[in-house]
Structure 1
Amino acid sequence: MKGFKDFLYDKNDILIALIILAIAALLIAWRMDVIMDYPHTLAEETGTEVTTDDTAIDDSQKQDKDSNQSDTQTDALWSNGALTKSVTVTVHGGSATDAVQDLVNAGLFESYDQFSQVCRDAGHKPENIKATTFTFDAGCTQADIAKIVTA
């Protein structure tokens, strides 16, 4: 019996470490489906889109395409500082600059700096932009849009 006690006393640190590793491995194996689904869950919560499609275009191509569209849309979109027609925009989550980029792509603002300035002038914080789908009615000004998306 003394030999077993000496062995246990000498090796108990290693034994405890092995038990902890075994428990961690069992927990990870048991919850693997939840762990692997986390990026999709996070994307749903923040309103972003996860894509693994090979046909997806990279951000620089998308921005070039969107800037070309916004140039033609912007002329007909604004008249005397107010929208000429209703516009629906989906603002995606992430950083404030990424979220504002959706408004820029829709032709509602020229840049993040312009959006920030309009927000500050109206007494709102530009980083409080919400990730959701907004519909702006004809007649809205940029100040109205800033108030809606940051309220």
Structure 2
Amino acid sequence: MRKIKDFFYNKNDIIIVLIILAVAAFIIYTRIGAIMDYPEKLAREAAATQTEKTTESTSETETISVTIEDSDTAATVSQKLEEAGLIAAAADFEEYITSSDKASSLKVGTFQIPVSSLQEEILDIITD
């Protein structure tokens, strides 16, 4: 019994290293499929991210044409913008135009308005 005890005391470091190696080998063996699939997973995620960025940049440059005629009022302009999908509510935008005192500054013509424009930007486009 003393020989076994002395063996463990003398070879303690070697035994610990062997145990750690055995545990690491077991973990790698059981997870080898996930380890080997990881680069492909990263490539798929990168491709998905690139596709999202491309979609976002495409939608940022997308514009909608809106024609304002000489007889159009703030209400009709707001209605046209709502129908084009540029604003959520015509009544809110009409109120915004009148509160900004730009109802008389509306210009006549066809305007290219980016889809992602805010109310302020839309009003600047159709009045400047």
Task: Normalising by structure 2, report the TM-score.
Answer: 0.41
Please identify the structure whose Cα radius of gyration is greater.
2
- Structure 1 length as normaliser, TM-score? 0.36
Q: Of Structure 1 and Structure 2, which has the larger fraction of its residues in helix?
A: 2
* Bigger RCO of structures 1 and 2 (CA < 8 A, at least 6 apart): 2
